[in-house]
Amino acid sequence: DADVTQTPRNRITKTGKRIMLECSQTKGHDRMYWYRQDPGLGLRLIYYSFDVKDINKGEISDGYSVSRQAQAKFSLSLESAIPNQTALYFCATSDLGGGNVLTFGAGSRLTVL
């Protein structure tokens, strides 16, 4: 099994629908992140969490929310999806002492029609 598992891997939805992307990890890492990848824009940080009770906004948090259900689980929600949220979403983890070496999931491709 992968160290960082994202579900679903692909999702097509319609404008206005609520979407949840889930992430679970077996690394035992404290820190978890959600990034968005768009062509030509690289990766941009949406939210991050340093432990279960710590949630922080990243660069582009508007329109998104997160939940850290346990040390190993970190979910990203789009309450009302819009077409410009069409992107590839990555979950990542890191260890407190890991010097920002991130372990990434394989990605969740979301298309909003």
Sign of CA dihedral 92, 17, 63, 59: positive
User: Residue 52 carries which side chain, given as an amino acid letter?
Assistant: V
The DSSP bridge partners found for residue 24 are 5, 73
Residue 1 binds another protein (CB under 8 A): no
Nearer of residues 14 and 57 to another protein, judged by Cβ: 57
Map the footprint of another protein across residues 58-77, applying CB under 8 A.
58
Site string for another protein, 35-54 (x = CB under 8 A): -----xxxxxx--x------
Residue 23 binds another protein (CB under 8 A): no
Residue in 85, 101, 81 with CA at minimum distance from that of residue 93: 101
Contact 37, 90 (CB under 8 A): yes
Residue 105 binds another protein (CB under 8 A): yes
How far apart, in whole angstroms, are the C-alpha atoms of residue 113 and residue 94? 33
Q: Smallest distance from the beta carbon of 56 to another protein, in angstroms?
A: 9
Per CB under 8 A, residues contacting another protein are 4, 33, 40-45, 48, 58, 90, 92, 99-107
